[in-house]
Structure 1
Amino acid sequence: MTDRPALTHIDAQGEARMVDVSDKPATERIAVAEGRVIMSPATLELIVSGNAKKGDVLGTARIAGIMAAKKTSELIPLCHPLALSKVVVDITPDAALPGCRVQATVKVTGPTGVEMEALTAASVACLTIYDMIKAVERGVRIDGIHLVEKLGGKSGHFRA
């Protein structure tokens, strides 16, 4: 049998639990996550030109991602509520996809990381883009949602 790290959200009896972070030092922690929304060139042009029926797709998705980061502990049962100090959601139209690249950066000074907040922000921003263009194109695809980078905390620096 190989030594594998234990899952931190499972106790000795196999029950789900919230990790106790009260003894961990508060340090600066940053996480970056990204995803892509793939669509037809015509749909991307609607977004870029500002002519989507529902309004400002990129601005709405950006705000939705920021709001989602702040609500992560309400959506993911074992996440700690955090006082986030920074949430940035950048959305870049990319004709080569064609579609939009979404990147979320989240920062906190605290005893636990913000990977879930960054992933939630990127996911919800992608979902919002989908919601705002689904009437025009049903075949839109969301993919590639992943953690790009994490800094701070005991485990140090991670880059995908």
Structure 2
Amino acid sequence: MYFEDYHIGQTFSVKPISLSAEEIIAFAEPYDPRPFHLSEEAAQKTRFKGLIASGFHTLTAAWSAWVKSDINKDGTICGIGIDHLRWTAPVYAGDTLQSQLTIIAKKASASGHSGTITCLYETQNQHHEKVLSFEGLVLVACRPC
């Protein structure tokens, strides 16, 4: 999709994802080595009572579902920022995550060759509990002439 194809209020759902215990641990070892991300046994002794994904793992996995979709394959130039990032509930090994993206703003560049879209990205688990939300800013090309 190109800049002209996006409209404020437009929503998209992406393919559900799930994070296994092995994936959670593999991400946590180099990037967020806290006991509740590294070991089910250690996690049982915490307030979470089970192995949970790093918030940054949840963020990158959820964003990956959007990037891998066919929705934005043509016009996306690059991501340029994230605002208002919130992790609102833990993500446990085996949770199924469903994300929805809503276009909340768009602004054409002065050059007329591209524009910025702002999207509200919200992710819920299989219990319809919101686990992640943020506003992503994406630079998108205008449709070629």
Compute the TM-score of the two structures, normalised by the length of structure 1.
Answer: 0.29
Larger % of strand: which?
2
What is the TM-score of this pair, normalised by structure 2?
A: 0.31
Structure with more relative contact order (C-alpha pairs < 8 Å, separation 6 or more): 1
